[in-house]
Amino acid sequence: MELSPLQTARYTYEPKLPPVLKSSISAIQLSLGEPTESIADQAALKAQFSKTYGKPIATFVSGRNAEPSKDLRVGVILSGGQAPGGHNVITGLYDGLKKINPKSTLYGFLGGPSGLIDNQAVEFDDSFIDRFRNTGGFDIIGSGRTKIETDEQFLSVLKTAQERKLNAVVVIGGDDSNTNAALLAEYFVAEGTDIQVIGVPKTIDGDLKNEYIETSFGFDTACKTYSELIGNICRDANSAKKYWHFIKLMGRSASHIALECALQTRPNVALISEEVEANKQSLGSIVDSIAEVVKKRSSKGENFGIVLVPEGLIEFIPEMKVLISELNDLLAHHTDDFAVLKGFQAQYEFVHGKLSSSSAQAFSSLPQGIRAQLMADRDPHGNVQVSLIDTEKLLIQMVGEKLAAERASGTFNGKFSGLAHFFGYEGRCAFPSNFDADYCYSLGYTACLLINSGLTGYISSVRNMARPSSEWVAGGIPLTMMMNREKRHGKDKPVIRKALVELDGAPFKELVKNRDQWATQTSYRYPGAIQYYGPSEVCDQPTITLALEQKA
Ligand code: FBP
């Protein structure tokens, strides 16, 4: 394989670490805090996680390491959607294990959790690992969305771990995968084994965060990649002055990506799903508000603009939320009956007949394409696959129809020509920014220290991330601390709570402060491409979201 100059250069990039991790292993001491509680449903979770609930927060500090340098055998999986930096978690984990004891072994299980279930793995060595340092993608071992759920699956994972004599399993994943990690940690202890489980917070969506997990890895690079593309489109729009670009951005439920990209590029409209829900905005009123901005700009002769649409928007529009929840329950309870139905019409009639009258009405008001997308397969965690729903096209169609009606009645005489874009997969495997390369390597390295300290049911954490890496703090957060119970597949389940955009948070307030001006005056900002080499203020900046959140 011929390497690009950037790939060659990135192989030799040395990730920056929190200061404590630069010490020799014998000088890294574990400090434990007070017992913790889950964020809600404490009694139920305490009962369900009777072996692993309520552990203290772990922090690594300079001192004397009481643990011997164990010869560890560890397995790692990548779980869920790709996120830039995954390879560096594995290289950090590998380097840390070898530093603890050169005899340690790291296995990479193939294709996500199913690799653990089926015991399909590779053993890493230096030359294997070196080919993936500071690169994007998850192709080192692949990923998957299988959920370890049934008794047989848990037993198979236990068998795999025992056959390979593993001390620990590291799960690199989002909220659902880390929930799975918590269940696995509990299961291993309940089965009388000392196999440990450590999670690592991954997802471009940015929704796996809290006071201790300041950001999930991949969010930084993905947002910077999309912001570059959006900035380029802004400039094209302002040059050609003839199109309204509707850009849907990945992020599943949460609008963190849309918000960060809005702060980076200053579009004319940035919809934030969490605000739509809080204001109980209907689809019709969202369309009206976009049409208003189009009209205002048109009255100044500016028949162009940029609208950012978060991927999960449809789930937050009140009438659609009820509809989707009814559809989720209905499809979960009638899986077999639904599966045998042939063609859209038969499926639509089956579903329509079982919905409440208000949801049936909302469902039938949507174009056929969107109705089909809403009935499509759920992911293994029971979620609607929002990346497959063309919300940006729906909005262009509805805004276009509204403005056409206004033109007919003489209240609008401008032009509206909409173009749809969807940015998601473009950003998930980019070369990790320096921030993500540094953060991920540190997360992997920290994970192996947590293992060496004998901890289980923790997620690797690096804190104080808005500051330079010389001020970063490494440790572990008990997974049960981030959990509550929610309905999945029609049943109450323990899950790590998704962090949605907070409407009283500093990033959203920054948008609110500026958006009226950005709506009418063309104020685009052009972030340009991610820079890997050069001055720190160009190459090492965190996202605006993280900087604002940590300043607050
Ligand atoms: P994770 O939560 O697993 O990190 O996935 C994030 C994501 O990129 C979402 O933004 C998107 O909705 C989804 O994955 C797409 O899934 P798929 O890769 O299966 O199409």
The catalytic position among 205, 207, 220, 436 is 205
E strand or H helix at 512: helix 506-520
User: Residue 135 pLDDT more than 70?
Assistant: yes
Class of domain 221-249+251-311+390-423+502-547: alpha beta
Q: Which residues have a Cβ under 8 Å from the Cβ of 366 and sit 6 or more positions away?
A: 374, 394
For the chain, give percent helix, strand, coil, nearest 5: 45, 15, 35
Portion of the chain with pLDDT greater than 70, in percent: 99
For residue 487, the model assigns a pLDDT of 82
pLDDT band at 292 (very low <50, low <70, confident <90, very high): very high
Dihedral angle over CA of 228, 232, 233, 237, nearest 10: 150
* Residue 239: C-alpha distances to residues 75, 291, 306, 526 (Å): 52, 22, 13, 13
Strands 143-144 and 244-249: unpaired
Burial class (CB in 10 A: 0-12, 13-18, 19+), 379: middle
User: Residue 376 pLDDT more than 90?
Assistant: no
Task: Choose among 381, 379, 540, 439: nearest CA to 84.
Answer: 439
What pLDDT digit, counting tens, does each position of 13-23 carry? Answer: 999 999 999 99
* Residue 49: C-alpha distances to residues 37, 212, 396, 478 (Å): 12, 21, 48, 12
If you take atom 10 of ligand 1, which residue's CA is the nearest one?
A: 251
* Both tokens assigned to 312: 């999960």
Long-range (24+ apart) CB contacts under 8 A made by 491-496 are 493/179, 494/41, 494/44, 494/45, 494/48, 494/49, 494/179, 494/182, 494/183, 495/175, 495/176, 495/179, 496/175, 496/176, 496/178, 496/179, 496/182, 496/208
* Residue 309: C-alpha distances to residues 189, 425, 450, 500, 514 (Å): 44, 16, 39, 15, 18
Closest atom of ligand 1 to 80 CA is 3
For residue 552, the model assigns a pLDDT of 61
- Distance of alpha carbon 371 from alpha carbon 360, whole angstroms: 11
If you take atom 19 of ligand 1, which residue's CA is the nearest one?
A: 81
Class of domain 26-204+433-496: alpha beta
Query: In angstroms, how far apart are the furthest CA atoms of the chain?
Result: 81
Distance from residue 535's CA to the centre of ligand 1 (Å): 33
The domain defined by 318-389 folds into Arc Repressor Mutant, subunit A (1.10.10)
* Residue 257: C-alpha distances to residues 214, 436, 453 (Å): 15, 15, 35
Task: Choose among 458, 432, 390: nearest CA to 532.
Answer: 432
- Distance of alpha carbon 79 from alpha carbon 121, whole angstroms: 14
Q: Which residues have a Cβ under 8 Å from the Cβ of 516 and sit 6 or more positions away?
A: none
What pLDDT digit, counting tens, does each position of 432-483 carry? Answer: 999 999 999 999 999 999 999 999 999 999 999 999 999 999 999 999 999 9
Distance from residue 165's CA to the centre of ligand 1 (Å): 32
* Residue 490: C-alpha distances to residues 328, 366, 487 (Å): 7, 25, 6
* Both tokens assigned to 463: 């804190």
Instruction: Considering only residues 373 and 230, tell me which one the structure prediction assigns the higher pLDDT.
Output: 230
Domain 26-204+433-496 identical in fold to domain 318-389: no
- Distance of alpha carbon 172 from alpha carbon 87, whole angstroms: 10
For residue 387, the model assigns a pLDDT of 76
If you take atom 1 of ligand 1, which residue's CA is the nearest one?
A: 81
User: Residue 298 pLDDT more than 70?
Assistant: yes
pLDDT band at 212 (very low <50, low <70, confident <90, very high): confident
Distance from residue 325's CA to the centre of ligand 1 (Å): 20
| In the chain, domain spans | 26-204+433-496, 221-249+251-311+390-423+502-547, 318-389
Is residue 41 among the annotated active site residues?
no
Task: Choose among 233, 262, 306: nearest CA to 501.
Answer: 262
Distance from residue 546's CA to the centre of ligand 1 (Å): 21
Residue of 143, 200, 203 best suited for mutating to test ligand 1, as the one with most atoms within 8 Å of CB: 203
Half-sphere exposure of 105 (CA within 13 A, CB side): 11
For residue 477, the model assigns a pLDDT of 97
Pocket around ligand 1: residues whose beta carbon is below 6 Å from it?
A: 80-81, 83, 174, 203-205, 250-252, 311, 386-387, 428
Question: What strand order describes the sheet that includes 305-310?
Answer: 269-270, 305-310, 244-249, 418-423
For residue 380, the model assigns a pLDDT of 67
What's the gap between Cα 504 and its chain centre? Answer: 21
What pLDDT digit, counting tens, does each position of 107-122 carry? Answer: 999 999 999 999 999 9
If you take atom 17 of ligand 1, which residue's CA is the nearest one?
A: 81
